[in-house]
Structure 1
């Protein structure tokens, strides 16, 4: 067996990369070539009828864990957007407020579906609790499908300085440090270094090697978007929906 490391190593100065500099996500491309697996480590041995259930269970847990991971992540993105808007003096601008409201609505619905998947989970005969598949899959889809829009809102609020912000080493340079603090400052006495830190955090959370890794991970964890649509449709109670519709339309009345 060979494992090729394909993870994203820690990146740069902690002051410039507040997230990526200390977070490492190990990933491996694993090659099984003429590998002996002891019998006590074999999960399935010819039980082809269980293959679907095995894969399905893995998908459920991966989607539920991605949804759990996203809850705090999307709240942090909302916080970054709000802090960035305040630092840029834009927090009272209507279209900026609307973008942050979109992000807050998204974060609230992501957490609501995650908590619903746990609150309505099923206890299995072995004592394990499985998250509710309908809510876990619908929530995972909602989170992943809207993620690019949340990134766009955050970057739009931050502006181009998220890309062109000088490094902290530049601020330390005695020849230009004071000038950077002066011209990076915002309105109403907003400190230039504070704005710089926010720009670095926004860039790190969205377009750094770590930010890119996290975006792909949250999108593809447990399978792509179509997989969640398939499971959501298969678990949705269409019979109940039909009964309610028939009652609403009085189809069964004489």
Structure 2
């Protein structure tokens, strides 16, 4: 296993990582990369063991519904890089079980790669969404054939790929990029049915980064995003060679969607678990700021908080249902139920804006206009700010201001905007969740009930 320092040293491997147009050779010099790097290093130190055959204890496949349930608190405690590594490993395990009968030649490679990844204690990020070009056109019909990652050359010892993957969280901070088809492929699109693992520092890989990390601002005004920011990346593959042992699918269009569906399951489970935690956090902030404002006993304020509580409870019930109805792979590994996971993720995403609106309505305009925490450092300003930001009854001005900054940071600033989008898009958009739900819902039973209610014979 690696220590945190060994992890940080491992990133100095010649990778081509860019931020705001600049090639970054030392992540420690760039706060938007340094902060998440340090958090990932803390994760390494947290689970480090000096035993020769030690493995990260949280990257284990659950063998029962109970073990799967026990994973949820671990998922919430993990840094994001470890979380996506866990998702990547679980994706490969589930995908292998689903293609084993029809494409057995890839199974030994997948198992060997998982073993190597665990042994070397590397971090893996998932690369699924392509540039896509014209969304109305299929991959093979694009004006630019590289709009979807594809194989441009097949050799005896591997393949060469070209294209780009979008929206890859923490790609610059990991060791391997796990590439998979973004959707179902059809006959004639064999070159796009490629799943493989590519080292971040492989020749031809270029990674651009964006971040919501606050720059040149008092970090006390950003109590959440200053601690847990993560860069999102475009990963460019400019004729990158992939050896055979790192290829998990190549040309089998009938299995192209298996990896994406398997990933979506684990990504949505993690997203759903976070949504449950986030919903409770919003309730907590609403309760605290209402009390600080002196409005916590007003009926319409209480009603809004009640609605937020009901929303949070429904999400938790959906998560519990997904875990309760877990399924097993042929190898005995358990994964959450597709339908309940997707329904809960959909509900959380579609109702998030409503819950945030309630919170903003309860809190008031100072969510945006509260003084900076650095203003409290000014000896002239501090007594005025304490006086006018306070509300009496033991609610100090600085205390109330910190609540406003927490609300703004998580719901109304860069990090809040990031959440607005990722709550919808992570794990696939809303349409994908509706599609999976419809596929698994027992519509025939519902129709029989409808016929019975109408006094009509079952067909």
Structure 2: tracts of 5 or more residues without a match: 1-204
Note if 1:213 corresponds to 2:418: yes
Aligned to 1:122: 327
Residues 20, 208 of structure 1: 8 Å contact kept: no
Q: CA RMSD in A?
A: 1.6
Q: Provide the rounded CA distance (Å) in 1 between the counterparts of 2:248 and 2:309.
A: 43
1:109 pairs, out of 311, 314, 318, with: 314
Q: Deviations over 1:52-111 (max 9, x none)?
A: 222222222222221111111110011000001000011111111111111111111111
Residues 206, 236 of structure 2: 8 Å contact kept: yes
User: 1:250 Cα deviation (Å)?
Assistant: 4.2
Aligned to 2:432: 227
Q: Provide the rounded CA distance (Å) in 1 between the counterparts of 2:246 and 2:214.
A: 34
Give the 3-state SS of the residue equivalent to 2:393 in structure 1.
Answer: helix
Q: Provide the rounded CA distance (Å) in 2 between the counterparts of 1:175 and 1:55.
A: 58
Residues 88, 187 of structure 1: 8 Å contact kept: no
Aligned to 2:209: 5
Give the structure with the larger strand fraction: 2
Give the 3-state SS of the residue equivalent to 1:178 in structure 2.
Answer: helix
Aligned to 2:221: 16
Give the 3-state SS of the residue equivalent to 2:208 in structure 1.
Answer: strand
Number of corresponding residues = 253
Q: Deviations over 1:122-171 (max 9, x none)?
A: 01112222211111111111000011111111111110111111111111
Residues 66, 140 of structure 1: 8 Å contact kept: yes
* Bigger Cα displacement from structure 2, 138-147 vs 59-68: 59-68
Give the 3-state SS of the residue equivalent to 1:223 in structure 2.
Answer: coil
Give the structure with the larger helix fraction: 1
2:351 pairs, out of 143, 146, 151, with: 146
Aligned to 2:90: none
Q: Deviations over 1:186-245 (max 9, x none)?
A: 143421111111111110111222222223222211111111111111111011222333
Give the 3-state SS of the residue equivalent to 1:197 in structure 2.
Answer: helix
Q: Provide the rounded CA distance (Å) in 1 between the counterparts of 2:392 and 2:295.
A: 10
Residues 10, 22 of structure 1: 8 Å contact kept: no
2:274 pairs, out of 54, 69, 75, with: 69
Residues 10, 23 of structure 1: 8 Å contact kept: no
User: 1:7 Cα deviation (Å)?
Assistant: 2.7
Note if 1:25 corresponds to 2:25: no
Residues 13, 21 of structure 1: 8 Å contact kept: no
Give the 3-state SS of the residue equivalent to 1:146 in structure 2.
Answer: helix
Aligned to 1:159: 364
Query: Could you say if the C-alpha distance between residues 68 and 43 of structure 1 is closer, same or farther in structure 2, counting changes exceeding 3 Å?
Result: same
Q: Provide the rounded CA distance (Å) in 2 between the counterparts of 1:47 and 1:244.
A: 41
Q: TM-score, normalised by structure 2?
A: 0.53
Aligned to 1:179: 384
1:203 pairs, out of 393, 396, 408, with: 408
Aligned to 2:86: none
User: 1:8 Cα deviation (Å)?
Assistant: 2.7
Please show how residues 11-90 of structure 1 align to structure 2 within 5 Å.
11=215, 12-90=217-295
User: 1:252 Cα deviation (Å)?
Assistant: 4.0
Residues 272, 348 of structure 2: 8 Å contact kept: yes
